[in-house]
Structure formats: structure tokens, C-alpha cells
């Protein structure tokens, strides 16, 4: 058996929050119930995927606000918010507000790049500035500056009966240390480290020209590059997010469904995809002992002590309850984790 290495310190999960367009409220309520279950099971964090013009969570900040009022301890994050859709100043206001209301439990994860399907929606998203919008790292730098409390206006003071601030209000002092970047390349990992962010490394990476083509090695190289660039060095936070499906307490019907899901997704893991060399990790399925053995053999996992395991798409609430329960009560302890609360 591979060397177990460092015990897992923090255990989280990631959900996409799907819904039926004929009844979207039910899907959002189900997401909140999953987060509540996660807290009851002792998970350290729950993360929300961000989906625009799809049947998933388009406003995770709003969902985090609701979840923050239904929970008391579990941390809440986004993995990730694509900043191409956001005004950094307005987003900084929303994040600080929700962070304060939750008692400092928000972990915003962001990324940059041209929005997906941009040619089809740019007239609606940016009708007057679509061709001049900056979708580079500068957009993250703007957000970080506002979160830190850098000036957003050249005026502060009283005007009539109103008092104005030159900085984003409210200000949440601890939020900057909980800002994450969702990176999948060496360039993005180094950039995140140099800007003292935390790193979200998911089940998707980009192969480098003339570099390794094995997922775990690529992920490991990115984590090491991130920490080498980060002021905190080896202490810089990295969270890994693979899809894991423990089957310890699953029914025979559930096991068959899970296996079919994994089989359908397996071909995309065979080789890098597209011009950028996108590479997907294999979904890990089996008993908790079997999954732990695969994780201990994974070069990327061996570099981290916190994870946010991704839940599969399109399963039923009972399936998520079984998977989360097995992760918290079986897989987590095998990996050295102990529940909080």
C-alpha cells in the first residue's frame, strides 16, 4: 500500500446545485439541505459551482447567504466564480456583506478568462463595452484591492445628510486571507502564489508543452510552483477537488448507477483534450479503503492536507446523502481526518 503521508486536516465537498427549470426553487432548497447535512456530518467546508445561463447555481453568493443563516460552523465557498461575468467592486460589496453575516465563514474562489459562449451573450452582458472588457488577471487584482480596503473613490466625507466612504463598505478584515484562485496551469498557479491567494486545484488541469501528460504529476508540479511563488511557501493553502464516490453503504442499484456514470466519463481522461491540452482526472469509485489507496498513490493528493471532493452531477438527494455520509464517516477517517463540531 502507498505511504499514507500527512493526515488530511480539512475535508470539504463541492456541489453543482442542479434544478428542474419547471421548479427551480426545489433544487436550490435541496442544495441548502445538502450543506446542512454536511455541517451535521462534521465537514469543514461546502463549495458551490457557478453556472450562468444553465440549470445550476447562477448566484452562489445569494445561496451562501441563505446557507449561512441555516448553519453555524461550516465554511462556505465558491469553486469558482468566473470574474468575466462580474463587476469586481460590486462583488466585493456582496462578499464582504455575506462574510460578516456568516461570522467570517466565506471562502470566495475565482477565476478569469473570456466567459463561456461569449459570442452569443456579450450583447446582453456588456452591450456597450463587450469588445474592450479586460478578462485578464487584472480583474482579480481589482477585486483583491477592494476586498483589502484600497480606495474605490476619490471622495470621502459628508454630502448633505449622507456620509460617503472612499472604500468598499462593509469591510470584512479577514476576507482577503480567504480568497482562492481556481488554477489549472503553471502560469495561473504561479500568479496565484505571487499574489498571496490560496489555490483551488480541481479535477481539470492543462498540460504544458513538452511537460508531463499524467494528471497527478501535472497537478503536483502546479502545487509546487504555487508554493514556490507564495510568500508563505510550503504553508500556503491548497485544496484539491477530485470526484470521489465511496460505495461502502450504497445499495446495489446505487452502485450500478454510479459505475455507469464513471464509465461514461472515463474516455475523456485518456489524453489531453483540445488546443490547450485540457486533462481530466479519473473519477474515483469503490470502497473507502480502495479510494484511499488510490489517493495515497496520487502525486497531487500527497502534496495537500485539505480537499473539497466534488459530488457527481445529476444524482438524487438520497445518493448525495449516502456519498457524503460515507465520505465523512468512512473515507475521511481512513485518510486521517476527524470531524469538526
Q: According to the model, what pLDDT value does residue 340 have? A: 76
Residues 181 and 111 sit within 8 Å (Cβ to Cβ): yes
Can you read off the three cell numbers belonging to residue 206?
492543462
Strand, helix or coil at 111? strand
Condensed to tens digits (0 to 9), the pLDDT of residues 4-62 reads 667 999 999 999 999 999 999 999 999 999 999 999 999 999 999 999 999 999 999 99
DSSP 8-state class, residue 20 = B
Q: Which three cell numbers stand for residue 28?
A: 436550490
Is 162 inside a domain boundary?
A: no
SS3 state of residue 204 = strand
- How many residues appear in the chain? 341
Nearest residue to 5 via CA among 339, 300, 324: 300
Domain of 117, CATH number, reads: 3.20.20.30
Q: Are 102 and 72 in contact (CB under 8 A)?
A: no
Q: Is there a domain that residue 5 lies in?
A: no
Three-state DSSP at 130 gives: coil
Sign of CA dihedral 99, 243, 83, 35: negative
Residue 83 neighbours by CB under 8 Å, 6+ apart: 91, 110, 111, 112, 135, 139, 140, 143
φ, ψ dihedrals at 324, nearest 5°: -65, -40
pLDDT recorded at residue 135: 98
Distance CA 78, CA 206 (A): 21
d(CA 98, CA 86): 16
Annotate 62-107 with DSSP letters as a single string.
Answer: HHHHHHHHH-SS-EEEES-EEGGG--HHHHHHHHHHHHHHTTS-EE
What confidence score (pLDDT) does residue 4 get?
65
pLDDT tens for the chain, 341 residues: list them.
344 667 999 999 999 999 999 999 999 999 999 999 999 999 999 999 999 999 999 999 999 999 999 999 999 999 999 999 999 999 999 999 999 999 999 999 999 999 999 999 999 999 999 999 999 999 999 999 999 999 999 999 999 999 999 999 999 999 999 999 999 999 999 999 999 999 999 999 998 888 888 999 999 999 999 999 999 999 999 999 999 999 999 999 999 999 999 999 999 888 888 778 799 999 999 999 999 999 999 999 999 999 999 999 999 999 999 999 999 999 999 999 999 76
Task: Dig out the grid coordinates for 39 from the structure.
Answer: 455541517
Q: Which residues contact 216 (CB under 8 A, 6 or more apart)?
A: 281, 298, 299, 300, 301
| 3 within domain boundaries | no
Residues 6+ apart with CB under 8 A from 132: none
Strands 162-164 and 157-159: antiparallel
Distances (CA, A) of 202 to 86, 170, 218: 22, 31, 12
Which of 55, 68, 83, 70 has its CA nearest to residue 140?
A: 83
Distance CA 47, CA 51 (A): 13
Domain membership of residue 341 (yes or no) is no
Cβ neighbour number for residue 130 with a 10 Å cutoff: 14
Is residue 4 one of the residues assigned to a domain? no
Q: Do the domain assignments include residue 238?
A: yes
Q: Is residue 256 part of a domain?
A: yes
Q: Report the pLDDT value the prediction gives residue 2, as an integer from 0 to 100.
A: 44
Residue 1 falls inside a structural domain: no
Cα–Cα distance measured from residue 115 to residue 53, given in angstroms and rounded to the nearest whole number: 11
Structural domain of residue 100, as residue ranges? 10-154+167-334
Split into its structural domains, the chain has a count of 1
The phi and psi torsions of 192 (rounded to 5 degrees) equal: -60, -40
Amino acid at each position: 500500500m502507498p505511504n499514507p503521508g500527512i493526515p488530511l486536516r480539512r475535508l470539504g465537498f463541492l456541489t453543482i446545485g442542479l434544478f428542474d427549470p419547471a421548479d427551480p426553487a426545489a433544487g436550490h432548497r435541496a442544495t441548502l439541505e445538502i450543506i446542512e447535512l454536511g455541517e451535521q456530518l462534521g465537514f469543514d467546508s461546502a463549495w458551490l459551482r457557478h453556472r450562468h445561463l444553465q440549470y445550476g447555481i447562477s448566484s452562489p453568493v445569494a445561496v451562501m447567504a441563505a446557507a449561512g443563516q441555516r448553519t453555524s460552523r461550516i465554511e462556505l465557498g465558491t469553486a469558482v466564480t468566473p470574474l468575466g461575468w462580474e463587476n469586481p467592486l460590486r462583488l466585493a460589496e456582496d462578499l464582504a456583506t455575506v462574510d460578516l453575516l456568516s461570522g467570517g465563514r466565506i471562502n470566495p474562489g475565482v477565476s478569469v478568462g473570456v466567459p463561456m459562449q461569449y459570442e452569443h451573450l456579450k450583447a446582453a452582458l456588456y452591450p456597450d463595452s463587450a469588445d474592450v472588457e479586460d478578462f485578464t488577471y487584472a480583474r482579480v487584482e481589482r477585486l483583491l484591492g477592494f476586498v483589502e480596503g484600497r480606495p474605490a473613490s476619490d471622495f470621502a466625507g459628508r454630502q448633505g445628510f449622507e456620509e460617503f466612504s472612499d472604500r468598499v463598505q462593509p469591510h470584512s478584515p479577514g476576507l482577503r486571507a480567504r480568497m482562492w484562485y481556481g488554477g489549472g496551469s503553471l502560469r495561473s498557479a504561479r500568479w496565484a502564489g505571487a499574489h498571496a491567494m490560496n489555490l483551488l486545484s480541481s479535477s481539470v488541469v492543462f498540460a504544458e508543452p513538452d511537460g508531463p501528460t499524467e494528471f497527478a504529476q501535472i497537478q503536483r508540479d502546479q502545487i509546487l510552483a504555487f508554493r514556490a511563488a507564495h510568500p508563505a511557501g510550503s504553508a500556503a493553502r491548497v485544496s484539491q477537488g477530485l470526484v470521489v464516490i465511496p460505495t461502502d453503504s450504497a445499495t446495489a442499484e446505487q452502485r450500478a448507477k454510479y459505475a455507469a456514470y464513471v464509465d461514461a466519463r472515463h474516455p475523456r481522461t485518456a489524453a489531453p483534450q483540445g488546443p490547450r491540452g485540457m486533462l481530466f482526472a479519473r473519477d474515483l469509485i469503490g470502497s473507502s479503503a480502495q479510494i484511499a489507496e488510490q489517493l495515497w498513490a496520487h502525486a497531487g493528493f500527497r502534496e495537500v492536507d485539505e480537499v473539497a471532493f466534488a459530488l457527481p452531477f445529476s444524482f438524487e438527494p438520497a445518493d448525495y446523502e449516502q456519498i457524503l455520509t460515507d465520505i465523512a464517516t468512512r473515507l475521511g477517517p481512513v485518510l486521517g481526518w476527524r470531524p469538526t463540531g
